[in-house]
Structure 1
Amino acid sequence: MAVEPSSSSPGLLKLEEQLTCTEVHSLMQKVADPEKVACDNCSSANATRCCRDCSKFLCKKCIAMHKQWTEFANHKIVSLDEVASAPSEILSKKKAEANLTCLVPSHDEPLKYFCETCDESICRDCAILTHRDHKYNLIADIYAKHCKALERSLNPVKGKIEALNEAMATIEGFEAEVRERGEAVVGEIHNMVEEIIDTVRQSERKLIEQAQMVTDAKLKVLSGQKKSAESSLSLLNDVKDYVEQSLKTGTPQQVLTSKKPIIGRIKEVAAQIRVEELLPIEKNDLTLMKGVKIDSDIGYITYSALQCCRGKSGW
């Protein structure tokens, strides 16, 4: 299957585009069977070698002549096995040689002239037959002129290349600035977050200390109330135990004799102890305010957090 020329570079075929799968396959078949390879020089004998420099298949007789010709003296003659290892290279060279010959089969002449009317290379027969009234010159004479024209045609391309290079430089400059600024912002964010964390940690320590102070104060009051209640309870238990023991072990005479002072002592103790006064005067009013969010302003966080540990009675 032939490969189409690249649309981005019309007229300029890549090496792969100059070759076809069929041509390579055909060449490989010939190399595998030397009797099918005709000598490019005499066309009558079977070729046994190939000139890598001019891509000609040669028979033994023509190889000797080839080496004697001055213009081919330094050419490298290789075996058909080497041709088999790189068929694309041989075919591309043969195609390049074919491109220097007129494409009209009946002409078989080298392309020596350039028709300016048709803007194409032609052979001697073309100049006489199909380009007779056209303006044409020898390629060697007009080559310099057309080279300059080709160079001038590149001016818009060169201008765009220069402009694109400048644009690329500008883009790369902006990329560097954006990347540098982005890294700087990331560093600033890191430092800011570290400061916020430090501030929150400091506030945490202060709030914990204040909450502990409130807790200790309340526990101290409750501890005193507990001791008073324990003392009163001990006194009441002593009275109860004494009366119960007297009833168990005392004689009727003893119980009745001590009845009046015992009842007096019971009334005295009962009047002395007021249970309602022994109830806790501290309330379980330590609370944490709800709805504080970590993404709020750090000042508000600190203020709100300080309010969280305030008891309803204030401190």
Structure 2
Amino acid sequence: MTGDVTTLVPPLKKTLFCATHPSKKAKLYCETCDELICRDCIVRVHRDHQYDLVPESFAKQEKVIVDSLKPVEEQIATLERAVESVDTRCAAVVEQKTAVVAEIRTAMAHLRQALEARETELVGQAEQTAQQKLKTLAAQRDGLNCNWAS
């Protein structure tokens, strides 16, 4: 959108004709009616209207368009800065998410290791307790068998 308005609107290269008199060249622009007219139309329909030659009217309209684009260009620059700011913040959020996910994975790996170590410890204690009880029970059975056999 930046640039001169003349780059946006190509110069008129073809001959323009009057809408009322198609055989006549439209050399004037009626500013009151906002239309191209020929000299005959000035006398008949557009007598008391504001009109000017097409090149001069084009220059006036070009200035109006250029002037009306200035605030838009300022808004575009503001919007571009806002979009850049949002993009920067998005990148920061993605970077932060990546760091948090890595931290969570590390913490979970440590918790898994701790749980597995605790599991190994508890299983070992359970097996040791069971072996001791089994020994005690085996001794009781042997004692009962000895008393029974006698």
Structure-2-length-normalised TM-score: 0.78
Task: State how far apart, in whole Å, the 2-side matches of 1:162 and 1:122 are.
Answer: 40
Alignment-derived partner of residue 50 in structure 2? 135
Alignment-derived partner of residue 222 in structure 1? 137
2:52 is paired with a residue of what secondary structure? strand
Which of the pair has the greater relative contact order for Cα pairs under 8 Å at 6+ separation? 2
Alignment-derived partner of residue 190 in structure 1? 105
RMSD: 2.1
Task: State how far apart, in whole Å, the 1-side matches of 2:104 and 2:117 are.
Answer: 20
Question: Any stretches of 5+ residues in structure 2 without a counterpart?
Answer: 1-13
Paired residue type of 1:205:
T
Alignment-derived partner of residue 10 in structure 2? none
Give per-residue Cα distances to partners, 1:51-94, cap 9 Å, x unaligned: xxxxxxxxxxxxxxxxxxxxxxxxxxxxxxxxxxxxxxxxxxxx
Alignment-derived partner of residue 72 in structure 2? 157
Alignment-derived partner of residue 213 in structure 1? 128
Task: State how far apart, in whole Å, the 1-side matches of 2:101 and 2:26 are.
Answer: 68
Alignment-derived partner of residue 21 in structure 1? none
2:19 aligned with 1:103, yes or no? yes
Offset at residue 147 of structure 1 (A): 1.3
Q: Which has the larger radius of gyration?
A: 1
1 or 2, which has the higher helix percentage? 2
2:123 aligned with 1:231, yes or no? no
The total of aligned residue pairs comes to: 136
Question: Any stretches of 5+ residues in structure 1 without a counterpart?
Answer: 1-96, 236-315
Offset at residue 200 of structure 1 (A): 0.6
Paired residue type of 2:38:
C
Structure-1-length-normalised TM-score: 0.40
Give per-residue Cα distances to partners, 1:203-252, cap 9 Å, x unaligned: 111111111111111111111111111222222xxxxxxxxxxxxxxxxx
Paired residue type of 2:77:
E
Give per-residue Cα distances to partners, 1:106-145, cap 9 Å, x unaligned: x112322122344433222222222222332211234323
Task: State how far apart, in whole Å, the 1-side matches of 2:122 and 2:61 are.
Answer: 90
Task: State how far apart, in whole Å, the 1-side matches of 2:102 and 2:78 are.
Answer: 36
Task: State how far apart, in whole Å, the 2-side matches of 1:111 and 1:182 are.
Answer: 66
Paired residue type of 2:16:
L
